[in-house]
């Protein structure tokens, strides 16, 4: 606004009113400036926290604000209060035994006796020393990878008398070729299991494994390993189909997705994002996982998978899952871990000089109380019915109080700030977030699915991309098998090797069902792998 002497009023009262209006305008501008400054500072703090802060959500919300020195140990507290001696009564308690953890009992033992020489077993008096005991310690040894060639010999037989002319049977008889997971190939179940475990468990790309084999004196190209993986995935599809049937027969499915880059995808730029979806059965007794590659993140992917399903589905707040709210036979559940993460972002953005009793801390305390109740029910080993009762008695009052607090704060908080967004997200998700109260079998969060995404993300950091959609789909099949095995407590290499040996012989549905992870025993698989088949 421009002023000059000719435009200003002459009377004092009008000048006062102009000054008042200018002061009000300035105050409004200052408020908007302060809000925008706070938003920018929040973004700076949260970006710094994402780059340099703690990645884990465990522990105190302020742990990031008190970083330890880079090289020094923290100094002991020598204040007067801590230095003064006070007599206190300590109640009896149990303490974990300190020291090195014992080596697994199922590992083979090789005994090496370190004895005295014969002339040292004689006492100074001339008598022979008697053995009165022994001291034993254990060390862990490793045998380097051993490569051998399996030579399959099939003797041929023929009749020298009639030379096969007496009947219409074959002139020469020979045993049939044993069924193989990849026919007419040099790969054995153990080699295939080794290669795929390296790729899908240890995140070793095929080109790195190619170098490892070279150091062992064997030439196995990355092209061959890629071909083996594709054929193994095709052979394992019947098992994956059974896993999918099991997931759809359960009462709860956890869903999540993450990005993957596929270079040679028809009609799409190599830099375009594609997605790896995960569907996890929520039953802790029979956990099963299905990974699926899709070029899109649209909700149609989940809708196709869930066709005909009846039960609970737990997801994050991504809008692509909104269609679940309208499904008649599905109860859509929210994720408390995502709601908690929004408020933790507020704490991170406020920096180390923040007030520790702010609104974000209040919200986190409500959520912390809810998780504490869940932790106590697990310690008590309660049944689903008892857990449901505990939630109704203890969790529901906290949730009701928390919602009232959120509604009140939503009218007092700028909606564009991180706190406003966290409050808005939690209120929008509220109907989904409280569904877990209905059934004691239901978890509070979708962490089970997120934890299954992490192995894929770790692998993606190493191999960066998939070459073709077919390769991405094959990876999804093999991830489904190996992560389902891990979820059921099986050692991945042993499981891969076992199913690669048994799948070629499976002819019926019962033969396939025996190979599902929850139908196998970890010790049995380790014994089979140790015995060489």
DSSP for 385-450? HHHHHHIIIIIHHHHHHHHHHHHHHHTTS-TTSHHHHHHHHHHHTHHHHGGGGG-TT--SSSHHHH
User: What pLDDT, on a 0 to 100 scale, did the predictor assign at position 87?
Assistant: 52
* Band of pLDDT at residue 145, cut at 50, 70 and 90: confident
* Band of pLDDT at residue 528, cut at 50, 70 and 90: low
Residue 258's nearest CA partner among 213, 194, 301 is 301
* Band of pLDDT at residue 6, cut at 50, 70 and 90: low
Residue 452's nearest CA partner among 476, 418, 431 is 476
Show me where the domains of the chain are located: 336-444
The answer for 294, left when phi > 0, alpha when psi is -120 to 50, beta otherwise, is: beta
* Mean of per-residue pLDDT scores for the chain: 83
Q: Which residue has the tokens 């203890």?
A: 394
Give dist(CA 332, CA 325) in Å, integer: 6
Give dist(CA 483, CA 257) in Å, integer: 15
> Would you state the structure tokens that stand for residue 58, as one six-digit string?
């465990």
User: What pLDDT, on a 0 to 100 scale, did the predictor assign at position 107?
Assistant: 83
Neighbours of 102 (CB within 10 A): 8
Q: Where are the alpha helices (DSSP H) in 168-316?
A: 189-200, 206-215, 222-248, 300-305
The answer to whether the predicted template modeling score (pTM) of the entire model surpasses 0.85 is: no
174 and 157 Cβ atoms separated by less than 8 Å: yes
User: What pLDDT, on a 0 to 100 scale, did the predictor assign at position 266?
Assistant: 78
**Phi, psi of 95, rounded to the nearest 5 degrees:** -130, 135
Give dist(CA 449, CA 462) in Å, integer: 21
* Band of pLDDT at residue 58, cut at 50, 70 and 90: low
User: What pLDDT, on a 0 to 100 scale, did the predictor assign at position 442?
Assistant: 93
> Would you state the structure tokens that stand for residue 291, as one six-digit string?
């990974």
> Would you state the structure tokens that stand for residue 384, as one six-digit string?
């689903």
Quick one: what percent of the chain has pLDDT higher than 70?
81
Q: What does the pLDDT look like over 160-219, one tens digit per residue?
A: 777 655 566 667 888 988 899 999 899 999 999 999 999 999 989 899 999 999 998 889
Q: What is the mean pLDDT of residues 369-373?
A: 95
Please give the helix or strand (H or E) that residue 175 lies within, else none: none
Give dist(CA 520, CA 354) in Å, integer: 53
Q: Please tell me which residue, 358 or 32, carries the higher pLDDT value.
A: 358
pLDDT over threshold 90, residue 241: yes
pLDDT over threshold 70, residue 73: no
* Band of pLDDT at residue 430, cut at 50, 70 and 90: very high
> Would you state the structure tokens that stand for residue 10, as one six-digit string?
């002459």
Query: How much of the chain is helix, strand and coil, in % rounded to 5?
Result: 50, 10, 40
Q: Please tell me which residue, 412 or 246, carries the higher pLDDT value.
A: 246
479 and 275 Cβ atoms separated by less than 8 Å: no
Q: Please tell me which residue, 465 or 335, carries the higher pLDDT value.
A: 335
Residue 274 β-bridge partners: 260
User: What pLDDT, on a 0 to 100 scale, did the predictor assign at position 476?
Assistant: 92
Q: Please tell me which residue, 187 or 453, carries the higher pLDDT value.
A: 187
User: What pLDDT, on a 0 to 100 scale, did the predictor assign at position 86?
Assistant: 46
pLDDT over threshold 70, residue 27: yes
Most confident among 62-76, 342-356, 411-425 (mean pLDDT): 411-425
- Angle, helix 206-215 to helix 189-200, in steps of 10 degrees: 130
Residue 156 β-bridge partners: 174
pLDDT over threshold 90, residue 356: no
Give dist(CA 311, CA 428) in Å, integer: 22
Residue 251's nearest CA partner among 376, 512, 435, 450 is 435
pLDDT over threshold 50, residue 361: yes
- C-alpha gyration radius of the chain: 33
């Amino acid at each position: 606004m421009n002023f000059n002497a000719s435009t200003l009023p002459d009377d004092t009262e009008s000048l006062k009113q102009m000054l008042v209006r200018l002061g009000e305008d300035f105050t409004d501008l200052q408020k908007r400036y302060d809000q925008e400054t706070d938003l920018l500072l929040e973004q700076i703090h949260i970006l710094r926290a994402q780059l340099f802060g703690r990645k884990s959500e465990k522990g105190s919300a302020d742990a990031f604000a008190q970083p330890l020195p880079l090289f020094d140990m923290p100094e002991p507290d020598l204040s007067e209060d801590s230095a003064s001696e006070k007599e206190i009564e300590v109640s009896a308690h149990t303490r974990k035994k300190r020291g090195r953890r014992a080596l697994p009992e199922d590992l083979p033992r090789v005994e090496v006796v370190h004895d005295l020489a014969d002339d040292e077993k004689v006492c100074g008096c001339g008598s022979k020393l008697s053995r009165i005991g022994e001291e034993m310690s254990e060390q862990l040894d490793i045998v380097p990878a051993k490569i051998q060639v399996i030579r399959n010999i099939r003797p041929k037989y023929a009749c020298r008398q009639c030379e096969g002319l007496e009947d219409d049977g074959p002139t020469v008889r020979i045993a049939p070729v044993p069924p193989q997971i990849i026919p007419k190939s040099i790969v054995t179940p153990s080699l295939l299991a080794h290669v795929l475990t390296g790729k899908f468990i240890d995140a070793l790309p095929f080109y790195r494994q190619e170098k490892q084999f070279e150091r062992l004196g064997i030439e196995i190209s990355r092209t061959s390993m890629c071909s083996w993986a594709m054929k193994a995935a095709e052979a394992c599809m019947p098992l994956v189909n059974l896993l999918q049937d099991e997931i759809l027969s359960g009462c709860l499915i956890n869903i999540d997705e993450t990005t993957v880059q596929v270079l040679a995808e028809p009609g799409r730029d190599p830099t375009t994002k594609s997605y790896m979806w995960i569907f996890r059965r929520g039953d802790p007794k029979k956990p099963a996982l299905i990974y699926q590659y899709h070029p899109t993140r649209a909700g149609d992917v989940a809708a196709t998978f869930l066709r005909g399903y009846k039960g609970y589905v737990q997801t994050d707040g991504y809008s692509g899952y909104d269609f679940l709210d309208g499904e008649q036979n599905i109860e859509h559940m929210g994720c408390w871990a995502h709601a908690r993460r929004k408020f933790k972002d507020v704490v991170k953005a406020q920096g180390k000089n923040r007030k520790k009793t702010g609104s974000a801390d209040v919200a986190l305390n409500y959520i912390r109380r809810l998780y504490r109740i869940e932790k106590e029910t697990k310690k008590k080993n309660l049944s689903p019915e008892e857990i449901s009762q505990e939630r109704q008695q203890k969790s529901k009052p906290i949730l009701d109080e928390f919602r009232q607090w959120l509604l009140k704060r939503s009218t007092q908080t700028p909606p564009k700030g991180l706190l406003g967004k966290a409050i808005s997200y939690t209120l929008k998700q509220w109907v989904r977030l409280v569904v877990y109260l209905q059934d004691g079998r239901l978890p509070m969060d979708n962490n089970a699915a997120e934890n299954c995404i992490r192995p894929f993300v770790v692998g993606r950091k190493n191999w960066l991309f998939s070459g073709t959609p077919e390769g991405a789909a094959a990876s999804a099949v093999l991830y489904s098998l190996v992560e389902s095995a891990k979820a059921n407590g099986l050692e991945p290499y042993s499981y891969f090797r076992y199913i690669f040996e048994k799948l070629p012989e499976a002819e019926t549905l019962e033969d396939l069902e025996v190979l599902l992870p929850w139908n196998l025993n970890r010790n049995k698989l380790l014994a089979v792998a140790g015995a060489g088949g």
